[in-house]
């Protein structure tokens, strides 16, 4: 399937949905386990694939804390645009 995707735009305060669109009609089959599904797309149909939420390290750790986790460590790229977090569940003892 040929897809066209909008250009990414970094705005840390927005939700960035990903909506590629088909360039021509296409049938997409899923034949796995007991599934036998077919999805038909018309020219220009959008496909919602994800929502990308942007947070600073502090904002993410605060959100994790509200969900019952504590931050152990965070790693970032030099510009702090991407991060990986090591979290501990509340009440899980020492690390």
Confidence tier at 93 by pLDDT (50, 70, 90): low
Q: SS3 sequence, 69-94?
A: EEEEEEEECCCCCCEEEEEEECCCCC
The pTM score is 0.52
**Per-residue pLDDT at 64:** 96
Sorted by where each begins, the domain ranges of the chain are: 1-54, 56-95
**Per-residue pLDDT at 12:** 52
**Per-residue pLDDT at 47:** 79
- Phi and psi at 49, nearest 5°, equal -110, -25
Q: Give CA separation, 40 vs 35, 48, 51, 69, 81, in Å.
A: 16, 14, 23, 42, 37
- Tens of pLDDT, residue by residue over 23-80, are 888 888 888 888 889 989 888 888 777 777 889 999 999 999 999 999 999 999 999 8
**Per-residue pLDDT at 2:** 42
Q: CB-based contacts of 31: which residues, under 8 Å, 6+ apart?
A: 37
């Amino acid at each position: 399937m040929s897809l066209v995707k909008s250009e990414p735009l970094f705005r840390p305060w927005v939700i960035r949905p990903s909506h590629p669109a088909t360039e021509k009609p296409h049938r997409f089959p899923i034949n796995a386990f007991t599934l036998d599904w077919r999805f038909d797309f018309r020219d220009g149909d959008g496909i919602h694939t994800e929502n990308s939420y942007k947070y600073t390290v502090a904002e993410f750790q605060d959100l994790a804390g509200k969900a019952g986790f504590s931050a152990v460590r965070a790693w970032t790229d030099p510009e702090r645009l991407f991060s990986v977090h090591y979290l501990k569940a509340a009440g899980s003892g020492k690390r």
